[in-house]
Structure 1
Amino acid sequence: MLRVIQRLQEESDIQSGIILDRFLRARKLESKLVEIQCQLVSIMRTDSSYTVNKSGTQIANSPEEPEVTNPLIDPRQLDANLHELSLLCQRSVLFQNFLNERAIEEMDVLISDNENEKDLVMKDKNEKFYGGNGLLLSSGLTKRVRELMSSYIVIDEYLLKKSIDKAMKLDDYDPTLASTSTCVDDVFFILKAVLKRAISTYEPQVVSSTVRTAVTILESTYLQVLHQRLNTVFTSYDPSGRNAERAMEQAKIDYMVTLNNLDVSADYTHRLAKEVEPDIINGVWLEGDNDVQKALSYIKDFENFSDKFDNLLKNGIEQLMKQILKPRIRPLFQESYKDVRYVLEEDEYNEADIDEKFVKRFRQRFDNLIKVYKTSLTDNNFSTLLGLLVNAVALQWERIVFQTRFNQYGALRFDKDLRSIIHYFSTLTEWLSRDRFTRLNQMVTLLNFEEPSEIYDFWGQKAGSVSWRLTVTEVKKILSLRLDFDANEVANLLPKSQ
């Protein structure tokens, strides 16, 4: 029976060659490859003549001529060709697996019956070209299909680049539909189809080449455009124009949409990598687990590209914080603290306890500050931005405390103000870390001492689990803000050696 299987492999090499030759002629693949290669060279040359306009869209530096589509490389026809090629490769692998499994069974029978039978079957065959199952290690069919898949890779690269370019040119944003623009869903829909088709070939090298191509095009086309949008969006309006304020608000929206695109793109990259893993694991690969592990490692390389989205996103949010929001923190406190004091008599304290001027003003102004970001950013981006904002608020508040005078009633009032603001921030996001207010809370503790010497009940060995974030110098400075504390007593507290 093994002789029959060997003969079947030899005959399949002959007949598959005839079929593949007819396929190549019928689909005009060689002519298509020549045209595609010319197009790819043209694209590489014209890429250097493109700039990105203020909205982040690629435009030509010279008048753009209408795109002429060669019917020979019509995208829909090329997509159909890729599907056919992937099926050819898949069927070839399945056929080879079938032959290999049956040949192994027959070889085991021969060996168990009579070792001489095996030698008879392998007579006149160069064993270095044959495997332990008696079949060719690399059949003619396998070689021809792998040659065809090199054409697959070229066509796939061309079609992927054209598709992503088109998705970016048609990019649009509708706030009623999503927090991202259309390019994100379009691009990752394309990538999903491309990766799944590559995996369906059950050829690790095809998966490897497809992943490398996808990553390269993502970086050079998709990520680059998003990067340019972040860099240019705020230069797209005239600050001295009649509608400057409206233009500035639109620029903020465009900037936030780009941040959302990056956030969702990073998430989609992870999700897509996880989604295709079952296709790899459940596939019928020629070399079994070895091919599975190779394919999984290639998909991991694709997933790692999400780090580039995350890095650009982090820089983008930090720039938004630094240039737009951080300069507004100090005025926010100035407006909120107008007519507010922390040196109070008992009746003034009771009145302040009812009015809560600072808390009400701060919340109102902070709500106005973050309103557009809360409604426009993704939950992840808003939480990240809010974290940076809270850090800036805490730092600015510390500076204000160091410049403020207190008495006992004022210290109590400040304690309530701080608690109210911390609670307010906790209602904005579930990811708020109270650790950001540790220094301010320790300042409140100091300001509410009955006597400066109480510090010895909290410092040094008596600190217990408390980790003091304030230095000795800062502790003394805070205590000296209490008008009713003796300045000399404060100055003599806590030698630096403690």
Structure 2
Amino acid sequence: MTIDQTCQSLEDLGHLNSILSRCSNVNELQHFIHVLDSEKEKTDTAIRTLHNSSYKEESASIRELELKRVELSGTLGNMKSLVSVTTEAHQLGDQITTKVKYLDQEKTKVLQTYEFVNNVQVLKTELANAHLSIQNEDWLKACESINVIRQLPDWVLTSRFVNATVPTSALPDEPKEVLEVWIKDLSQILTKEFDRAASERNPDRITYYFKLFPLVGQQSIGIKSYSSFICNIIHEQSRLNMKTSQGTNTSHAFLILKLFETISNILIQHSNVIKKHYEPRYILDVMQKIQNECDLQCGLIFDTFWDTQRLDRVVNLVREYDYPVLVEALTTSSEDRSNVDRQPIDERISLSNIGDLLNELALILNRWSMYCKFFSSKWNEFKNEGEPGKTEITSLPEALFNSAFMSKIKERINPVFDTLSTFYLRRSLEKAYEIEEFPNITKNLNQSVQLVLTHSVESFVPPSSKPASSLIDDLVFVLNNIYKRAVSTGQSSIINNLINSTRRILETNFLSIVAKELKETHPRYNTQLINFKTILTNTATASRQGTPVPANDDTSFIKSATTALQSLNLNNDESNTARISKYLILLNSISLFDEYLSQLVSNLLNEVETDYLVFLEEGENRINRLNLKVILENLTGKIHGICDASLTQHVRILYTQVFKPRLTKLTVNLFAENEFLLTLEEFDSIDSSNSDGVSTFLQEFTQLTFPYYAIMTQDSYNKLIAMFIDQLSKDLEEKIWSLENKCNELGLIKLERSTSALITSLTKLNYKLRDRFVRVTQIIMVSNLGDDEEIDNLGEMHWVLTPTERLKARNLRVDR
């Protein structure tokens, strides 16, 4: 019996408790005792059986473990023998290692001794050679010997053995002291000889002595001498250029250009000599000295320019100028404005003189920017020698950024340039306003009249340029010049300040003046640019007074119409036509200026992309063209917003005064109430072309709008027609709603055709305007649905009509 079976038997004895609880007499108790004794014997038997079986298993396991212990005892003895062998091997290895280390130490001592002996021999030999060469003034051999001695370890020169054995009767001092004395004396000799060769401009001797300085460990003295030599060349050449330019028309910008050319040539030529005998990093020291000399010469040239042109006096005069013409234009009306005698402007601040000064300053800054590009490129090249990936210019070297001339540019040149540029722009605007002319648009009107009367509007080709004030061309020309000039300087601060000044001047002066003139020339209510009825009447009168005109002679008819048009007297400022003409020209002026300014800035952005100039972020030593682009784009964005708002405002005035009164008359006979209750015979007799009302409307619409299309810019005309279409779509919608119970199925088909033809003709020049008629088209579409068609079956249409309006449109028909 297993342990599990025995445990199960013990658990089964639990039923005896239930038997005991049910015993109620002696017999039952005796029976229970008998059962209990039987169960006890079974349990005892099971336990004995379990004990016997467990004892046998444990005895077998013990015997097996004893056998394994005997086997492990043999293995343990073998392991002890192996440990003993390993210990002996380790001891032998330690002995071998100790002997090898000893041998290595002995070898090192021998090599050190051998090296020391060789160094001592070299030292004695080179000391003797150097001493002999110095006595013979053979400086090259002397420096080469000293260079060999300098390469020896320092402990060799200071060892007691050397100090005891090397000194001779000719050189009794210790080698270290002798070497220091020789280096000091040779440095003085080489410097003196180099300066003599430099004064004689002997390139061979200069190179000869220059390459000796590194041999005696005096690279700094050699670089200092060579830098002085180069700076003297720059100084003398600059002074020679200035002396030669006296009494001539040579500009100071040209002198600075020649200075930079001299520096660049010297740097390119002499850098090879320096790299050959010195480390590349020493060239940076030379470039620092060159930049210091450059600052001196640039400062001298600019100070001469400043004094010659008396710039301080010019700047004061510019700041005192009060722009009387612009003030008068902004404060008085055109009727009150007269030819007032003004004090003549000082010739020193005339536009030509200021323009010359600005060109000169711009050229100076342009040459400086290009020089900075070259200098930075060379600096990075020598600084990152052997690392071609690090030659990109992201900032200026400190030698440039903190240079004296850079400080002068920031503190003196840039403020003067900003002041003169602002004056040049405002004074040019003032001058352009004084000589402003408005073009005669009679030719444009003649052409539009001819095309309308001969029904040849479709053949009209818009002119490349629309009539505008001469002020626009003059102003854009000036802006183009000053911005190109500012960008050419490579100075972000100048461009930024000029943009801010330009925006302020355009807002407060130019656009304010144009807005004021527009206000003064508002077209009178219900006036027209061209009254075709008057022209046709005058044409008929002229024909009756002369020879009868053949029916098909269009040429004579046009001549008569042109004569009638000229009788309108466009030159009379008080005439309605003249007021509208000037108003249209002013609108064109705003629109064209906005367009020209965008083109100008676009061209400037392309110039900013050029890589020959360095544009530093204002106030920081970091090249950043992106920030400059954002500033330029912001200029057009802000001016465009102002121009567009002004244009929209004054086009709306034109629409309200001229077009809106005419629109009511044009739509009187459009879609008459009795026109859309048709019989089948009446529907079949309808011409496939436009109805009489639509044809008349389109003819009068063309007569009304085409002269404006021939004169106005596309942007202005689009705004005008959009306003016209907005109102027309509302009027059409009202007319269609008024047809409730006044049209049948055939009438609605005619209405749909007429409306489609009308919309197509009105929007052929600008297809986007069709969206303004979407309510009208949806009303007609819903009203034309058959009785068995449901609105909900039209798919995912974007409805602009409300459900109530759709239901109303469906019930327009009287026969539904």
Question: Structure 2-normalised TM-score?
Answer: 0.51
SS of residue matched to 2:623: helix
Q: Structure 2 residue aligned with 1:173, among 419, 438, 441?
A: 438
* Counterpart Cα distance in 2 of 1:340 and 1:36: 75
Listed one character per residue, the Cα deviations across residues 309-356 of structure 1 (whole Å, up to 9, x for unaligned) are 112112222232233212322221113456862112233333443682
Counterpart residue identity of residue 311, structure 1? A
Which amino acid counterpart does residue 756 of structure 2 have in structure 1? R
1:403 Cα deviation from its structure 2 partner: 1.4
Q: Do residues 434 (structure 1) and 770 (structure 2) align?
A: yes
Q: Which residue of 1 aligns with 2:273?
A: none
Contact 1:165-1:221 within 8 A present in 2 as well? no
Of the three residues 613, 625, 634, the one matched with 1:284 is 613
Aligned-residue offset at 1:245? 12
1:255 aligns with 2:535: no
1:47 alignment partner, one of 327, 332, 345: 327
Partner of 1:14: 296
Q: Letter of the 1:183 partner, please give it.
A: L
Give the CA deviation at 1:71.
1.5
Does the alignment pair 1:483 with 2:790? Answer: no
- Report what 2:399 is aligned to: 135
Partner residue of 2:363 out of 87, 99, 103: 87
Matched, 1:268 2:596: yes
CA shift for structure 1 position 184: 1.5
Q: C-alpha deviations, 1:407-432, integer Å up to 9, x for none?
A: 222222212211211221233x0434
1-structure distance, mates of 2:812, 2:736: 9
Is the 1:237–1:247 Cα contact (8 Å) retained in structure 2?
Answer: no
Q: Residue 493 of structure 1 aligns with which residue? A: none
SS at match of 2:331: strand
1:132 Cα deviation after fit: 9.4
Match of 2:351 in 1: 75
1:469 aligns with 2:469: no
The secondary structure found in structure 2 opposite 1:187 is: helix
CA distance in 1, matches of 2:695, 2:396: 82
Equivalent pair of 1:342/1:413 in contact (CA under 8 Å) = yes
1:154 corresponds to: 419
Render the CA deviation track for 1:59-95: whole Å, top value 9, x for unaligned: 47xx722340212212111101110011111222333
User: For residue 137 of structure 1, what is the amino acid of its counterpart?
Assistant: F
Q: Find the counterpart in structure 2 of residue 144 from structure 1.
A: 408
Write the deviation string for residues 374-406 of structure 1: whole angstroms up to 9, x where unpaired: 111112322232222222111101101111211
Q: Residues of 2 paired with 1:181 and 1:95: CA distance? A: 42
Structure 2 partner of 1:414: 751
Cα deviation for residue 301 of structure 1 reads 2.4
- Give the aligned partner of residue 321 of structure 1: 655
Partner of residue 312 from structure 2, selected from 6, 30, 39: 30
Number of equivalent positions: 452
Quote the Cα distance in structure 1 between the aligned partners of 2:370 and 2:578: 55
Name which structure has the greater RCO, CA cutoff 8 Å, separation 6+.
1
Question: Alpha carbons of 1:107 and 1:246: their partners in 2 closer, same or farther (altered >3 Å)?
Answer: closer
CA contact (8 A) 1:265 1:306 kept: no
CA contact (8 A) 2:329 2:513 kept: no
Q: Using a 3 Å threshold, how does the CA distance of structure 1 residues 95 and 442 change in structure 2: closer, same or farther?
A: closer
Structure showing greater Rg? 2
Compute the RMSD of aligned alpha carbons: 3.1
Q: Deviations over 1:431-457 (max 9, x none)?
A: 344332222222223333443xx45x2
Counterpart among 432, 435, 448 of residue 784 in structure 2: 448
Residues 252 and 108 of structure 1: is their aligned pair in 2 closer, same or farther, counting only changes over 3 Å? same
The 8 Å contact of residues 2 and 134 in structure 1, kept in 2 or not, is answered as no
The correspondence of residues 227-246 of structure 1 with structure 2, limited to 5 A, is 227-234=515-522
Cα 1:353–1:368, aligned 2, differ >3 Å: closer, same or farther? same
Superposition deviation, residue 6 in structure 1: 1.8
Contact 1:32 1:72 in 2 (8 A): yes
1:394·1:440 contact (CA, 8 Å) conserved in 2?
yes
Judged with a 3 Å threshold, the aligned counterparts in structure 2 of structure 1 residues 178 and 475 are, in CA distance, closer, same or farther, namely: closer
Is 2:546 the counterpart of 1:225? Answer: no
In structure 1, C-alpha distance between the alignment counterparts of 2:329 and 2:573, rounded to whole Å: 34
Give the Cα–Cα distance (whole angstroms) in 2 for the partners of residues 218 and 52 of structure 1. 19
CA distance in 2, matches of 1:236, 1:409: 44
CA separation in 2, counterparts of 1:67 and 1:351?
79
Contact 2:525–2:658 under 8 Å retained in 1: no
Question: More deviation in 181-190 or 42-51?
Answer: 42-51
Give the one of 707, 722, 729 matched to 1:387.
722
Q: 1:293 aligns with which of 620, 626, 645?
A: 626
Output the amino acid matched with 2:813. R
Contact kept in structure 1, 2:759 and 2:770, CA below 8 Å = yes
Instruction: Tell me, in whole angstroms, the C-alpha distance in 2 between the residues paired with 1:246 and 1:231.
Output: 15
Would you say the 8 A contact 1:273–1:303 is kept in 2? yes
Conserved 8 A contact 1:199-1:279: yes
Q: Which moved more, 1:156-165 or 1:472-481?
A: 472-481
TM-score by length of 1: 0.82
CA displacement at 1:54 relative to structure 2: 4.9
For residues 196 and 250 of structure 1, do their structure 2 counterparts lie closer, same or farther at Cα, with a shift above 3 Å needed? Answer: same
Distance 1:450 1:51, change over 3 A: same
User: What amino acid maps onto 2:307 in structure 1?
Assistant: R
Indicate yes or no: 2:487 matched with 1:199.
yes
Q: Assess, with a 3 A threshold, how the Cα gap between structure 1 residues 71 and 437 changes in structure 2: closer, same or farther.
A: closer
User: For 1:353, what is the secondary structure of its paired residue?
Assistant: coil
The 3 A distance-change label for structure 1 pair 344 and 200 is same
Alpha-carbon distance in 1 for matches of 2:599, 2:736: 46
Give the aligned partner of residue 128 of structure 1: none
Change (3 A) 1:357 1:70: same
State the one-letter code of the partner of 1:431: Y
Q: Could you tell me which amino acid in structure 2 is paired with residue 392 of structure 1?
A: Q
Query: Identity over the aligned pairs, expressed in percent?
Result: 20
Q: Which digits, 9 at most, give the CA deviation of each residue in 1:143-162, with x for residues without a partner?
A: 22331221111111111101
Distance in 2 between residues matched to 1:46 and 1:252, nearest whole Å: 24
- Contact 1:406 1:481 (8 Å CA) reproduced: yes
How far apart, in 1, do the equivalents of 2:478 and 2:344 lie? Answer: 23
Give SS of 1:309's match.
helix
Distance 1:49 1:382 in 2: 28
Matched, 1:370 2:646: no
Indicate if the aligned counterparts of 1:97 and 1:286 stay in contact, CA closer than 8 A.
no
SS of the residue 1:482 aligns to: coil
1:54–1:233 CA contact under 8 A, matched in 2 = no
Deviation for aligned residue 1:50:
4.3
- Among 179, 200, 209, the alignment partner of 2:497 is 209
Deviates more, 1:201-210 or 1:358-367: 358-367
Q: Secondary structure at the match of 2:468?
A: coil
